[in-house]
Structure 1
Amino acid sequence: MDNKWHTTPQKIRDVLKPDQKDLVRQIFDKLHCDEYKSEVWRQFDQYNKGDGGFGSASIAIFGQPGTNQFEFVLTGRHCTRRCNGDSEKGAAFGGPIFYGYAAQGFNEKPTHPGNAYWFQAQRANEVFQALDGKQRETTLLGESRDEDGSDTVKLTGKTQGLEGISVADLRADQKDLVKTVLADLLKPFRQSEREESMKYIEAGGFDSLHTAFFKNQDVGKHGVWDVWQIEGPNMVWFFRGDPHVHCWAHIREPKAA
């Protein structure tokens, strides 16, 4: 799991025939909802434009296709997507996923023009704006976690002591906003993944979630926080928009007590 890696060294463009490439595109397409498919492809096709934009990515298949014990994984620059037959029990998306985008260069402008995923940060910033002064002091921190491969989305299992403000300390209307924002973060993905993700988040305890924003990584220094996260005992959604967008997500069914 990383922001640029290949689960197998062979690239799609080097090993697959045209009809096989088309099948991979269909699989990737069906991992996303109709509303956001074009934006997801705009991001994906921008990189390594040769061979339809995804030719430099790699695929791997684990287990036995045709059974419920298999997983298809596509990896490459700014992309890790998984499609499984519930072989990874209790894991939304089949395990951790990653997506990123540098829409107009490595160092994006403060408003991230053209970025397919900046809407997620805009929604998260609405949560910050809904907080009062003391709540903002609790949730606004200095530096975010480092990006360190799989460790970036390592789950702590903790319900207390996480970074930022606890959802349990928010008013009812603020809690409702956090829940709405979580649903919006999931919008690019297919319905089954959205439903499974929300089910696991709720099972882990909505009041156990914490939100944090990071002031020292504010592109443009204008108080619209580019780097933020939502974390609970069995989930982490880490959005790093400095200098461009990287987003790490990992949601699992909570462990039995």
Structure 2
Amino acid sequence: MPNPTPQNLTPIVSRRKFLEAASVTAISASLAPSLFAAPSRSSKAETAVQEFYTSLTDQQKSQICFPYNHQLRSKISANWHVTKPTIGLDFYTDKQRAMINNAIKGMTSQEGYARLQKQMDEDDGGVDFYSVAVFGDPSEKKFEFTLTGRHLTMRADGNSAEKAAFGGPIVYGHSEENPDQNLYHYQTKQTNKVFEALDTDQRKKALIGKAPRETAVHIQQADGNFPGLIVGDMSDDQKKLVTESLDVLLAPYREEDKAEVQEVLKSIGGTDKLRMAFYQQGDLKSDKVWDIWRIEAPGFVWHFRGAPHVHAYINIAAIS
């Protein structure tokens, strides 16, 4: 499958366009209802998934299709295959591979798709070496399409898991250990702008010695334990940097998923309820650009481990 990617993906957009986009996102996040709905059966990715499922033979379904509540649907890992057949095998037809590609395009923004293609190429030889599964029947009430492989777990579910952004926990990463060449180090540089803007007392609250396990991303309720500095205690200028950082983190994904993240944030009281933590552990160049950081609140976890290379685990879902 061809993987057309830009030669240089950073910076993502010009500063002017970035500020314009950040302003639009900040405005849309303050409106109710959102300008975009959560993913539905008619979303681009889900439409491709339904077409893909319909095309499968009984023999194919026996190997890559499972009941909706199968235990594999809840698994997250930085390196795993949800099913044995990889996309490039003769197990799939060219038309089915094109449907899979359309589903991936539907789950991402244009920039996110290009970056993802480059990550898969560099980490494991391309999308042909990744695997997919379908949980449930897309023609019925609940279903999920899952894409997995080296440094990747992505989902499309037509909002089957209600109030869960991205269809559930997702993972992304990149094996490049030189931070200046890692495809996702730009996110660390962006979030560290928040740390650089903090005063001495704020930094003491935000900077922590040892990081939690990267897989510790279970959803916590309002009475949970949340490390770091609460965004609500920041100045307006600092809060603006947090909003800009969230926009950068969400930029690789489709509008429907970004809108659902904003809805979850609104349900817990907005970005003021988030906490930001930066970890001294894993400071790759001893330059105090903190390569491990975490954004967390009730119903929200974004854990980024950039040492020695990137593993990022995200779990965002409205709390009960």
Pair in the same fold by TM > 0.5: yes
Q: Which runs of 5+ in 2 are unaligned?
A: 1-75
Q: Confirm whether residue 252 of structure 1 aligns to residue 252 of structure 2.
A: no
Aligned to 1:12: 87
Identical aligned residues as a percent: 36
Q: Confirm whether residue 238 of structure 1 aligns to residue 303 of structure 2.
A: yes
1:196 partner SS = helix
Q: Which moved more, 1:67-76 or 1:190-199?
A: 67-76
Aligned match for 2:259, one of 183, 188, 195? 195
Aligned match for 2:161, one of 81, 88, 94? 88
Does structure 1 retain, via aligned residues, the 8 Å contact 2:214–2:304?
no
Does structure 2 retain, via aligned residues, the 8 Å contact 1:68–1:85?
no
Does structure 2 retain, via aligned residues, the 8 Å contact 1:47–1:54?
no
Q: Confirm whether residue 43 of structure 1 aligns to residue 119 of structure 2.
A: yes
> Which contiguous aligned blocks of 4+ residues in structure 1 show a shift greater than 6 angstroms?
none
Q: Could you give the per-residue CA deviations for residues 125-154 of structure 1, whole angstroms, max 9, x where no partner exists?
A: 000011001100110001111134xxx211
Q: Which amino acid is the alignment partner of residue 302 of structure 2?
A: W
Q: 1:160: Cα distance to partner?
A: 6.4
Aligned to 1:66: 139
TM-score, structure 2 as length reference = 0.72
* Aligned pairs, number: 243
Larger strand proportion of the pair = 1
Does structure 2 retain, via aligned residues, the 8 Å contact 1:80–1:97?
yes
Aligned to 2:48: none
Aligned to 1:75: 148
Aligned to 2:195: 128
Q: Which amino acid is the alignment partner of residue 66 of structure 1?
A: S
Aligned to 1:153: 217
Does structure 2 retain, via aligned residues, the 8 Å contact 1:159–1:209?
no
C-alpha RMSD of the superposition: 1.5
Aligned match for 1:139, one of 193, 197, 206? 206
Aligned to 1:97: 170
TM-score, structure 1 as length reference = 0.89
Aligned to 1:229: 294
Q: Which amino acid is the alignment partner of residue 236 of structure 1?
A: V
Distance (Å, rounded) in 2 between the aligned partners of 1:76 and 1:31: 16
Q: 1:36: Cα distance to partner?
A: 3.0
Distance (Å, rounded) in 2 between the aligned partners of 1:218 and 1:197: 29
Distance (Å, rounded) in 2 between the aligned partners of 1:161 and 1:183: 25
Q: Confirm whether residue 218 of structure 1 aligns to residue 274 of structure 2.
A: no
Structure index of larger Rg: 2
Q: Could you give the per-residue CA deviations for residues 89-147 of structure 1, whole angstroms, max 9, x where no partner exists?
A: 111000000001023xxxx23xx133221111111000001100110011000111113
Q: Confirm whether residue 54 of structure 1 aligns to residue 127 of structure 2.
A: yes
Q: Which runs of 5+ in 1 are unaligned?
A: none
Q: Could you give the per-residue CA deviations for residues 43-70 of structure 1, whole angstroms, max 9, x where no partner exists?
A: 1122332xxx122211111111134421
